[in-house]
Structure 1
Amino acid sequence: MSSSLPLKFAFLFSLSLAGVASSAIIAATPSPLPRKLRAQSAYSFSLSTKPKATISDLLSLLGPPQQAASVDSRVALELQSCFKFLVPHNQTLPTRRSLNSKICLTSSRSGKKIDELILSPPDPVLELARLAVDSGGDPGAIHRALDPTIIPVPDVEGCKEDRCELTITPYGRRFIDEGLNSYLEFLFQIIVERGPSVGLNVALSRYDFFHGHLFLAKESGRLGILFHAKEYPACDKNVFPYNMGYCQVGSNVRYDNSMNLRNILWLAPLPSSSTKAWLAPGVLVVLDARPDGIIYQDLVPEYVNFARTLYEEDFGEVVVDVNYLNVGTEVPKFQIFIC
């Protein structure tokens, strides 16, 4: 599978041990919309109709068969209609091959091998996924896997001139294991590479696609990342009349139907909490928040329904923000920062 990305990338992470704030489409800069308000859905169900979908339902459908079967069949059918898989969904773990710790997209890497890297990632990723579950979903277990070296976040595509701060902290860190850093780089690249196959066209830029939120799922402790694309659409008095602060200045991101696809979910394979077995393979899926779908109607808070935003804290315990930032000058170069 050939790559359409002629850019060179590197990863850096910025970490806030006091807690990770969301960097969803509502910017950290002043906004007329309250971040923490949780309005009710635009409609409600009576007791005689189907139950309202939950994030737990969504995660269960992407988990082991027993979990998937626990979801109300009517809710399951509607949720499944909103799943746009970037890698074919499978409920059984494929046989793993020996993989190098450095992962990159090359013209020699086949689509099948890329699928395998999502369904059954390299050992460093599997070890982190098992650590997440074995620790009982303890964010500290993931924090301890980070290199303590502090790396300042440099200017990103003219952010300083616009007084824009993309990361929660002005510094970042990386995982000690370079295989983990390489894998995160791979995830960003493959989302850009395969997104058009499901109608998601994104660019690696500070206005569009540059970050995700690593979380440990409620109840199961499953490791996942909720990515957000289309982060700062350009202000338009007709279609998007919202002032999102300094980071929106200069945006070339158009507000259109592609906003429905701005939430992308990666889930690591799920290990058993009692044996060495693996219960479910990895997942990479775009969550379609179109207005006539159940994700928009039940899971997107009403006060941000114009932005189609799903929030990472609804999925579980947020551990770190993962940022893939252009820190180059004339020739774009990218680094990943964990904040």
Structure 2
Amino acid sequence: MMGSSLPLKFAVLFSISLAGAASFATTTFATSLPFFKPKPKPKATVSDLLSLLGSHQQARSVNSQVARELRSRFKFLVPFSPTQRLRPESSSARRLLNDRNKRDDDELIWWPPAPVMELARLAVDSGGDPGAIHIALDPTIIPVPDVEGTKEDRCELTRTPYGRHFINEELNSYLKFLFEIIVQRGPSVGLNVSLNRYDFFHGHLFLAMDSGRLGILFHAKEYPAYDKEVFPYNMGYCQVGSNVPYDDGMNLRNILWLAPLPSNSTKSWLAPGTSPLFISG
């Protein structure tokens, strides 16, 4: 688990995992025509999703029907690609704490600061080895704080009672920036979230198995309020006191950030960073 250094009253938490092949929801159909056997509808996988958001060559490898289905489910917090060709270094030197405009924030997604770029290249160069990320963590163990009354409610938001920061403070600041930009821009695409222990407080850091690309899958609306009509489910101690409504916003609770994609054979970059929401179901 990793906690970013957010100056907030709760911990922002991450878990490291590997992205593998998984099926998205698909539909099938039947026909009564004799001797006619319809071709099965191709299924979309996580690999397809990452390829579609990768280089042009990777995007072309995705089945066209699958690609159309996936694209229809994306909502981007920043434009999918820069409006003009930018050097990765163009925003690497920007200070995350400076006053920024919308274009500055876009560039910080497309081409993050140098420490983030270095971590992205390390992930690919290591062949997607999670150990490449582990070595970037400060070994200091940080106890998970009592977040908004979790101890009183007997709620445990993490698998372990401790977390760790990155050694490089700019990496920690960038994680803070990602949370802030999601909250800030979410309403423009239909997602209203709050930074609290019931709603938006964590993400899952991953390295894609096929490419080694670095990414984070954020989850918002983690503990919707119990409602006997629309959400009659008991989710345990961490749900107690929630005022997060179960509504259409749940379809946008998955927020994907992908670091720029470096080549595994040259020093070039194959794709800029990106930050889409994708609709479930």
Q: CA–CA distance in 1 between the matches of 2:155 and 2:179?
A: 22
Q: CA–CA distance in 2 between the matches of 1:136 and 1:203?
A: 36
Quickly say closer, same or farther: Cα 1:167–1:8, change in 2 above 3 A: same
Structure 2 residue 248 is matched with structure 1 residue 263: no
Pick from 150, 171, 185 the counterpart of residue 180 of structure 1: 171
Higher relative contact order (CA 8 A, sep 6+): 1
TM-score normalized by structure 1?
A: 0.72
Quickly say closer, same or farther: Cα 1:286–1:20, change in 2 above 3 A: closer
121-130 or 89-98, which deviates more: 89-98
Q: Any idea what SS the aligned residue of 1:57 has?
A: helix
Q: Any idea what SS the aligned residue of 1:204 has?
A: coil
Gaps of 5+ in 2: 1-5, 30-36
Q: Contact 2:51/2:59 (CA < 8 Å) preserved in 1? A: yes
Gaps of 5+ in 1: 1-6, 22-37, 290-295, 297-339
Q: CA–CA distance in 2 between the matches of 1:141 and 1:171?
A: 21
Structure 2 residue 86 is matched with structure 1 residue 94: yes
Q: Contact 1:12/1:173 (CA < 8 Å) preserved in 2? A: no
Q: Contact 2:91/2:108 (CA < 8 Å) preserved in 1? A: no
Q: Contact 1:62/1:68 (CA < 8 Å) preserved in 2? A: yes
1:32-83, CA deviations, whole angstroms, 9 ceiling, x for partnerless residues?
xxxxxx9995744675253111111111110000110111111111110110
Structure 2 residue 222 is matched with structure 1 residue 226: no
The equivalences for 1:37-56 within 5 A come to: 43-44=27-28, 48-56=39-47
Q: Contact 2:23/2:45 (CA < 8 Å) preserved in 1? A: no
Q: Contact 2:28/2:41 (CA < 8 Å) preserved in 1? A: no
Q: CA–CA distance in 2 between the matches of 1:228 and 1:278?
A: 28
AA in 1 matched with 2:249: S
The equivalences for 1:1-339 within 5 A come to: 8-9=7-8, 43-44=27-28, 48-90=39-81, 94-95=86-87, 96-97=89-90, 99-100=92-93, 102-104=95-97, 108-289=99-280, 296=281
Question: How many angstroms does 1:85 deviate by?
Answer: 0.2
Q: Contact 2:141/2:164 (CA < 8 Å) preserved in 1? A: yes
Q: Contact 1:64/1:280 (CA < 8 Å) preserved in 2? A: yes
Quickly say closer, same or farther: Cα 1:40–1:229, change in 2 above 3 A: closer
Q: CA–CA distance in 2 between the matches of 1:226 and 1:78?
A: 20
Q: Contact 1:93/1:120 (CA < 8 Å) preserved in 2? A: no
Question: How many angstroms does 1:151 deviate by?
Answer: 0.9
Q: CA–CA distance in 1 between the matches of 2:148 and 2:107?
A: 34
Quickly say closer, same or farther: Cα 1:130–1:20, change in 2 above 3 A: closer
Quickly say closer, same or farther: Cα 1:243–1:205, change in 2 above 3 A: same
Quickly say closer, same or farther: Cα 1:226–1:196, change in 2 above 3 A: same
Q: Contact 2:75/2:189 (CA < 8 Å) preserved in 1? A: yes
Q: CA–CA distance in 2 between the matches of 1:14 and 1:73?
A: 36
1:297-316, CA deviations, whole angstroms, 9 ceiling, x for partnerless residues?
xxxxxxxxxxxxxxxxxxxx
Question: How many angstroms does 1:281 deviate by?
Answer: 0.4
Number of aligned residue pairs: give it. 264
Q: Contact 2:205/2:216 (CA < 8 Å) preserved in 1? A: yes
Quickly say closer, same or farther: Cα 1:47–1:182, change in 2 above 3 A: farther
Q: CA–CA distance in 2 between the matches of 1:111 and 1:275?
A: 31
TM-score normalized by structure 2?
A: 0.87
42-51 or 131-140, which deviates more: 42-51
- Larger gyration radius, structure 1 or structure 2: 2
AA in 1 matched with 2:231: F
1:217-241, CA deviations, whole angstroms, 9 ceiling, x for partnerless residues?
1200000000000000001110001
Q: CA–CA distance in 1 between the matches of 2:182 and 2:24?
A: 31
Quickly say closer, same or farther: Cα 1:256–1:15, change in 2 above 3 A: closer
Q: Contact 1:93/1:278 (CA < 8 Å) preserved in 2? A: no
Question: How many angstroms does 1:93 deviate by?
Answer: 5.9
Q: Contact 2:14/2:202 (CA < 8 Å) preserved in 1? A: no
Q: Contact 2:26/2:43 (CA < 8 Å) preserved in 1? A: no
